[in-house]
Amino acid sequence: MDRPWKYSSNVAQVSSSWHGVSGVKTLIVLGASYCGVGYDFKTSPRPTVDQPLGVPFPGSTWAEPEKANWVGHLVTRFEDQTRLVVYDFAKGGDTTEGVERQIKQEFLPNLVDDTEKGLLQGNLDKELRTSDAVWNSDDTLFTIWIGINDCGYSGPDAVPPKLVKLFGLIELLYSVGARNLMLIDIPPMDRSPAMRYPPRGKLSFEEWNDRLRVHALDFAKTHVDATLTIYSSWATFTRVLNNPVALGFDADDGKRRGGSIWVDHIHPTSKMHDEVAKDVVALLRSIPANGTGAEQGQTKWCDGTQHLTT
């Protein structure tokens, strides 16, 4: 299919587990600094509809002080349709191995019952969730945004085993009841202030995004009761960086630290995070509930030629 951007958002598969945006009550976030809000299961209270992040809004983010990242913006933008409760396990600096820790040491022990026993017996399923569980398969969206640090710390050759590990973890989430999943690809970090030698780094980022899509489509084919979406941060960042003024950003801020797009060498501003949230909301709203209007396993591309409206 001819697409204007190298990468686009797509809905790999819609199943009966997806009841539309209004059906999402819980958001479980796994990732690194782009996602973190400073939530700590050991010290933070459980999130509620009145304090959806589990910490005072907007949490502690890697955007400007006291400013929301895309998770906070998403909560705000969803308020007209659903009041989300967010369990955000993301930690700055984490790689795929960090996501493994987030799942096995934080999510599973706290939000899934009999975890160790189930893992050892290889029979984890949604019935093992606690009787007072705060999430259900049909009303929870799992999001994973990881890979920037993986690619930053290593070259393209390290990407394939990382993606194998990541989808092994996604398989684990599925085994405990995760049925609605949104994976986020890597933005064009070669265009960030951090990249002094873009071509070398670009290879790793593109290898990651290519393989993410291959693995996602393969996963969808073998898990027909799951709804799987890929949101392309690459497309969102590309749109902004290609024409910043049209979207309310300063013309010279594409590579500038401390500008309207980048807080520092690698982290986006709250305004840029809001662009991400807008496009995530638009993508999720485009997914038909319960697979209505979408064939099982059908791929729907959102090409990013224009800003997704909300």
Question: What residue ranges do the domains of the chain occupy?
Answer: 9-302
2 has pLDDT over 90: no
For the residues 137-144, what does the mean pLDDT come to?
A: 98
Identify whether the C-beta of residue 12 lies closer than 8 Å to the C-beta of residue 299: yes
CA angle (34, 210, 96) in 5-degree steps: 45
Chain centroid to CA 87: 13
Alpha carbon of 53 to those of 17, 43, 71, 84, 280: distances in Å? 24, 13, 9, 9, 18
For the residues 23-34, what does the mean pLDDT come to?
A: 98
Sign of CA dihedral 221, 143, 7, 302: positive
Looking at per-residue confidence, does 151 or 6 come out higher?
A: 151
- Range picked from 108-117, 141-150, 154-163 for highest mean pLDDT: 141-150
Identify whether the C-beta of residue 21 lies closer than 8 Å to the C-beta of residue 139: no
Sign of CA dihedral 291, 295, 297, 301: negative
Under the banding of pLDDT at 50, 70 and 90, the label for residue 117 is very low
pTM of the model: 0.89
Under the banding of pLDDT at 50, 70 and 90, the label for residue 207 is very high
Under the banding of pLDDT at 50, 70 and 90, the label for residue 196 is confident
As a whole number of angstroms, the distance between CA 10 and CA 303 comes to: 8
Predicted pLDDT of residue 71 = 99
Q: Can you point out the beta strands (E) in 35-99?
A: 85-88
Predicted pLDDT of residue 290 = 81
- For 111, the enclosing helix (H) or strand (E) is helix 108-111
CATH superfamily of the domain spanning 9-302: SGNH hydrolase (3.40.50.1110)
Q: Which of 62-71, 72-81, 128-137 has the lowest mean pLDDT?
A: 128-137
For the residues 216-236, what does the mean pLDDT come to?
A: 97
For the residues 100-112, what does the mean pLDDT come to?
A: 95
* Nearest alpha carbon to residue 298 among 71, 14, 63: 14
Under the banding of pLDDT at 50, 70 and 90, the label for residue 253 is very high
Predicted pLDDT of residue 305 = 33
- For 30, the enclosing helix (H) or strand (E) is strand 26-31
44 has pLDDT over 60: yes
For the residues 115-120, what does the mean pLDDT come to?
A: 43
Identify whether the C-beta of residue 266 lies closer than 8 Å to the C-beta of residue 189: yes
Q: What residue type is assigned to position 199 of the chain?
A: P
127 has pLDDT over 60: no
Q: Which of 109-118, 274-283, 295-304 has the lowest mean pLDDT?
A: 295-304
Alpha carbon of 62 to those of 43, 45, 295: distances in Å? 20, 21, 39
Under the banding of pLDDT at 50, 70 and 90, the label for residue 6 is confident
Per DSSP, 105 falls in state I
The C-alpha torsion from 37 through 68 and 289 to 168, rounded to 10°, is: -30
As a whole number of angstroms, the distance between CA 16 and CA 38 comes to: 33
224 has pLDDT over 60: yes
CA angle (45, 46, 47) in 5-degree steps: 110
